[in-house]
Chains A and B, each alone.
Chain A
Amino acid sequence: MTEATDIAATVARPSRARSRALARFVRHRLALFGLAAIVVLVLLCAAGPYLWPYNDLRINMRQRFAEPLLAGLHVFGTDELGRDMLARLMMAGRVSLTVGFAAMAISTLVGILVGTLAGYFGGMIGTALMRFVDAVLCFPSIFLLLALAAFVQPTLLSITLVIAATAWMEVARVVEAQIRSLRERDFALASEALGASDAHIMFRELLPNAIAPIVVASTLNVARAILLEAYVSYLGYGIQPPVPSWGNMLNNAQEYLVTAPWLALLPGLLITLAVTGFNFVGDGLRDALDPRLDIS
């Protein structure tokens, strides 16, 4: 590089700093928006059912397909069995969000374990583990998810485990890369020289330094898990009725698309809102915690 471009790089960049700062601010605002959306959704789903007069399971055949806003207190309308949509959406949200968080927790733990082992030991073990990760990633996630879900008894736990089984690879990759580069640094060698055990170096010395990308990846993993739950439940192999989830509420909504479009629109909107929220927060965290991961 010539000096001119050097100057342009070090000096002209501040000239874009105004728009850059704007960019960061907008990002930040998006992250705040995402956080607000998540908090509102969580509060609504957690507390809403206690405050709302309708029960999500109460069938009322005289009140079928009540249109939103037109049927008194049924502000979000009713479904094909006359159940209150808002009550169902809130209960479904509990299930979907719980599955999302739980699957995230499990897949993050698995990812951390695999990634740490692979990154720390490297060599044959590391290569073998990471090749295994690559191989799992060859399977389109929904195909793998359905193939696993189809042959287990669908319960909240089994669905969560199945989703986690198809979502741990990203974390493993991120952690492996971090640990591998951290391992080369002095403090790992120093600990080794002091005779610390492998487990101690891995989990007490190295892992805490990889926390930032893990936080980012696991936030994005919640979004992913909520989406996967929606897919598998929509396709009929996830959470089974009468337990509602945002995904299975859409399961037969297509039939009523002409007469009662809100049955399809509302759950999907909430899924999109929740997933967007986690994605925005994840992106904001990435900006804040680890600018090197920023692809934009």
Chain B
Amino acid sequence: MITAMAPDALLQVDDLAVRFHGDAGTVAALNGVSFTVRPGETVALVGESGSGKSVTSLAIMRLTPPPPGCRVTGRVMLRGAAGEALDLLALPAEAMRSLRGSRIAMIFQEPMTSLNPVLTIGDQIAEAIAVHRGGARAAVLDAAAELLDLVGIPEPRARLSAYPHHLSGGMRQRVMIAIALSCDPALLIADEPTTALDVTVQAQILDLLRRLQQRTGMAVIFITHNLGVVAEIADRVMVMYAGRVVEQAPRRALFRSPLMPYTAGLLRSVPRLQVTAARVALEAIPGNVPDPTDLPPGCAFAPRCGHVQVGRCDAAMPALEVAEPDHLVRCLRWRDLASGTPG
């Protein structure tokens, strides 16, 4: 089934699924995920650990473990540099490799362990440049120094010969960003890039990412569990739960009128400056993320949901419905809840 790629899309994911196979059975880490990212846009993937947001990013990059342990199905289309539509999951390994780091780049959650401890910062940036562009060593190192300057590292020349352990977590994440930006990617996947950092450093890194995005015009898929971060940077938001998209909407719509009870729960658990004065209690969502090897038959959120209708919500998986143009929700009761009918 060949569906054309939407003309305005940079990345188009259709029905992406990831399964891990083992003696203990098969685990569907990701199910029927579809979304589009347009050039220059920031899409946030939000969810708790185990919701499938990181698996989504690794599947797009084709960095999931090799089969037979892990199988990826569905379709991931990427607009190539010349405007052509590339079917990433069907590309030869070598063609996919040459896209990684050049057309799509990625930064990770753990800046402390994501850099090779025994190579200099300069070497690690230069490697990315050399792999995709080649060039004389001196020129490559010049480019690396420029990148360090771009991501706001003082004394970039001197830093080239520093090792990762000489730098703080925030600085290392800046280096990761420099590596990711080294070949002007059209799409940057940022997998919880600020989670491991101090709050003040988090703000700096977010600010840096936003400025770099404005400057380069790249699209960003921003993976996070922190809705506060989402409010700051996202154009559109996808909320994931237990390997599925449960709500997808422009940022404003999502924050103003969340339709899925899970999203509403997430929003209520975010501390907000305005309301602390009123001492509105923060609500944690009761219960835990379901075991991926043992998902309930119906809505995966049903066991934790305050609006659950027994016999209905836990019977079958609800479909992802269009509530408004551009606002999708996976909940049987969204109409009732939106119109204020009690559960």
A-side interface residues toward B, CB under 8 Å? 1-8, 11-18, 21
Q: Can you name the residue of chain A whose Cβ is closest to the Cβ of B71?
A: A15
- Please tell me if the beta carbons of B292 and A7 are within 8 angstroms of each other in the complex: yes
- Please tell me if the beta carbons of B69 and A2 are within 8 angstroms of each other in the complex: no
- Please tell me if the beta carbons of A12 and B50 are within 8 angstroms of each other in the complex: no
Q: A7-B292, A12-B20, A12-B70 are in contact. List 12 more A-B contacts (CB 8 A).
A: A2-B110, A4-B57, A4-B58, A8-B20, A8-B70, A11-B20, A11-B27, A11-B293, A13-B22, A14-B20, A14-B23, A15-B23
Can you list 14 contacts pairing A with B, beta carbon distance less than 8 Å? A1-B109, A2-B109, A2-B110, A3-B54, A8-B65, A8-B70, A11-B24, A12-B69, A14-B23, A15-B68, A16-B22, A17-B22, A18-B22, A18-B23
Give which listed residue, B20, B27, B191, contacts A2 with CB less than 8 A.
B191
Q: Can you name the residue of chain A whose Cβ is closest to the Cβ of B54?
A: A4
Asked if B64 is at the interface of the complex by the 8 Å CB criterion, the answer is yes
CB distance from B226 to the nearest CB of A (A): 14
Asked if B213 is at the interface of the complex by the 8 Å CB criterion, the answer is no
Query: Across the interface, which residues of A come within 8 angstroms of B58, CB to CB?
Result: 4
Query: Across the interface, which residues of A come within 8 angstroms of B29, CB to CB?
Result: 4, 7, 11
- Please tell me if the beta carbons of B54 and A12 are within 8 angstroms of each other in the complex: no
Query: Across the interface, which residues of A come within 8 angstroms of B68, CB to CB?
Result: 15
A8 to B72, CA, bound (A): 13
A3-B51 contact in complex given A8-B65, A16-B69, C-beta closer than 8 Å: yes
Task: Across the A-B interface, give the 7 residue pairs with the lowest CB-CB distance, nearest first.
Answer: A14-B22, A4-B54, A15-B69, A15-B22, A14-B24, A11-B20, A17-B23
CB 8 Å contact bits of B66-77 with A (1 = contact, 0 = none):
001110000000
Asked if B21 is at the interface of the complex by the 8 Å CB criterion, the answer is yes
B-side interface residues toward A, CB under 8 Å? 20-25, 27, 29, 49-55, 57-58, 64-65, 68-70, 108-110, 191-192, 292-293
Give which listed residue, B51, B65, B108, B110, contacts A12 with CB less than 8 A.
B65
A77 to B50, CA, bound (A): 69
Query: Across the interface, which residues of B come within 8 angstroms of A8, CB to CB?
Result: 20, 64-65, 70
- Please tell me if the beta carbons of B24 and A3 are within 8 angstroms of each other in the complex: no
A3 to B50, CA, bound (A): 6
A184 to B69, CA, bound (A): 40
A174 to B165, CA, bound (A): 33
- Please tell me if the beta carbons of A1 and B20 are within 8 angstroms of each other in the complex: no
A282 to B68, CA, bound (A): 33
CB distance from A125 to the nearest CB of B (A): 37
- Please tell me if the beta carbons of B64 and A4 are within 8 angstroms of each other in the complex: yes
- Please tell me if the beta carbons of B24 and A2 are within 8 angstroms of each other in the complex: no
CB distance from B55 to the nearest CB of A (A): 5
Q: Can you name the residue of chain A whose Cβ is closest to the Cβ of B58?
A: A4
A1 to B65, CA, bound (A): 15
A90 to B137, CA, bound (A): 70
- Please tell me if the beta carbons of A7 and B69 are within 8 angstroms of each other in the complex: no
A4 to B63, CA, bound (A): 10
CB distance from B66 to the nearest CB of A (A): 10
